[in-house]
């Protein structure tokens, strides 16, 4: 439901869980999400009005399907500061660590020129991250979207 928002929040450095990480087919998924939010002191973001109502102050109904509108809404509530930090894996949410020269060298998708770049590594997904054109475009979209 909010997969793109989940990835963006992780790019921004926020510890973000997704309902997709739960075992599929759980009949009490909504109840489980509310329990996790309460136990871990998390805010539940959802496009499900009923779930948001059940969550009370612990939940936020996300009104729009458009990612920049979603980010604007969450930022307006004071829940995030929208800027790219590249400190969490966008796939699994694990904290990134500085990449070793070997990890950079062995990542076939790494840029050929690594001068002036800082690389991070997800030890779980074994994925290399760096601030490149994709991160720059996301950062620019955030700035444009939030200034309008």
- How far, in Å, CA of 35 to CA of 33, rounded? 5
- 21-30 pLDDT, tens digit per residue, is 776 666 688 8
| Per-residue confidence (pLDDT) for residue 25, from 0 to 100 | 63
Give the residue from 67, 69, 64 showing the smallest Cα distance to 11: 67
Q: 58 is in which domain, residue-wise? A: 1-84
Is residue 46 a part of any domain in this protein? yes
| Per-residue confidence (pLDDT) for residue 116, from 0 to 100 | 81
Q: Which residues of the chain have pLDDT under 70?
A: 23-27, 148
| Per-residue confidence (pLDDT) for residue 75, from 0 to 100 | 95
| Per-residue confidence (pLDDT) for residue 109, from 0 to 100 | 92
Is residue 32 a part of any domain in this protein? yes
| Per-residue confidence (pLDDT) for residue 4, from 0 to 100 | 94
Give the residue from 137, 147, 146, 148 showing the smallest Cα distance to 11: 137
The total domain count for the chain is: 1
| Per-residue confidence (pLDDT) for residue 26, from 0 to 100 | 60
Is residue 112 a part of any domain in this protein? no
Quote the pTM value. Answer: 0.88
| Per-residue confidence (pLDDT) for residue 24, from 0 to 100 | 67
């Amino acid at each position: 439901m909010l997969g793109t928002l989940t990835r963006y929040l992780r790019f921004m450095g926020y510890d973000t869980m997704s309902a997709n990480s739960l075992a599929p087919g759980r009949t009490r998924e909504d109840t489980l999400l509310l329990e996790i939010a309460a136990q871990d002191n998390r805010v539940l973001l959802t496009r499900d009005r009923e779930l948001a109502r059940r969550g009370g102050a612990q939940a936020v109904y996300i009104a729009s399907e458009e990612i920049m509108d979603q980010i604007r809404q969450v930022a307006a509530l004071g829940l995030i500061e929208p800027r790219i930090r590249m400190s969490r894996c966008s796939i699994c949410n694990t904290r990134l660590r500085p990449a070793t020269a070997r990890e950079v060298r062995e990542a076939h998708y790494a840029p050929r020129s690594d001068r002036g770049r800082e690389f991070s590594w997800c030890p779980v997904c074994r994925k290399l991250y760096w601030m490149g054109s994709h991160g720059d475009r996301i950062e620019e979209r955030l700035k444009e979207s939030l200034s309008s």
